[in-house]
Homo-oligomer: A and B are copies of this chain.
Amino acid sequence: MTDDPVLLTGAGGRVGRAILQGIGADHEWRLLDRESIRLDRLPDAVADAERVIGDVTDEAAVRDAIRGVSAVIHLAGDPRPEAPWDSVVTNNIDGTQTVFAAAAAADIDRVAFASSNHAVGAYETADLTPGIYRPEDEFRLDGSELPRPSNLYGVSKAAGEALGRYYHDTEDLSVACVRIGNLTEGHPPRNYERGQAMWLSHRDCAHLFDRCLHADYGFEIVYGISANERRYYSIKRAREVLGYDPQDDSAEYHLDGTQKA
């Protein structure tokens, strides 16, 4: 790592705030968001960080924002699972292509891309659920499986992963695609077995993206969840290749979200 900043796209969103809360003080940052108001309420640790207002679908804005950075964490996009096609094809697919292309053109070494559990949500068929959400079940998705999106947002994330693979293979960019689970602050989702199975705590989220900035890898698809006993996503690859060492487990909480004694 150099002292050049890390470009964080979509910095003002939920994932961006979790990352900055955890590792805001550990890196120099260039924070990109399309709405300035979202950059006004970030953690104190990045109070002095560079801020850029711009849209990832704007090639010139991305080209300017990427100049001189050491790495990119690309979170920007429409985050709604129910987002309509017109939005995800523009903000998520075209936006991600714009970021990867600019990173390759600027000779950036690595891009960590926020993919999603929705890229594989349709593996959760009626005959597998709710069994796979329970501790005793050994079903695991590990990132080597083909996409099975549960919505058009998930299709857009699968397309982003394919773009990442392409830019890795042809432009020698290191690309980590993190299929983010259910990110909540403080405690796992309440009374929601599935959400607890794919819980990602804020500190584990920040740590995982920190590993994406430090570890040595080529192209990876990993699951971004805490060390949940209930999990049906493997975190083996994230542990082995990225050195991910999650601290949290939804089993430390009751089903209603209160912490066990």
Contact = CB atoms under 8 A, between A and B. Distances in A.
Interface of A: 85, 89, 93-94, 97, 101, 119, 122, 144, 146-152, 154-155, 158-159, 162-163, 165-166, 169-170, 221
A169 B150 CA distance: 8
A218 to B, nearest CB: 12
A190 B151 CA distance: 44
A155 B148 contact: no
B93 A159 contact: yes
State the copy count for this chain: 2
A196 to B, nearest CB: 24
A169 B85 CA distance: 17
Ranked 9 nearest A-B pairs via Cβ: A122-B169, A158-B162, A159-B159, A149-B166, A147-B162, A155-B162, A155-B166, A148-B165, A155-B163
B94 A89 contact: yes
A221 B148 CA distance: 13
Contact of A89 (B89, B169, B170): B89
Contacts of A97: 85, 89, 152, 155
Given A146-B165, A149-B166, A154-B166, A89 B85 contact: no
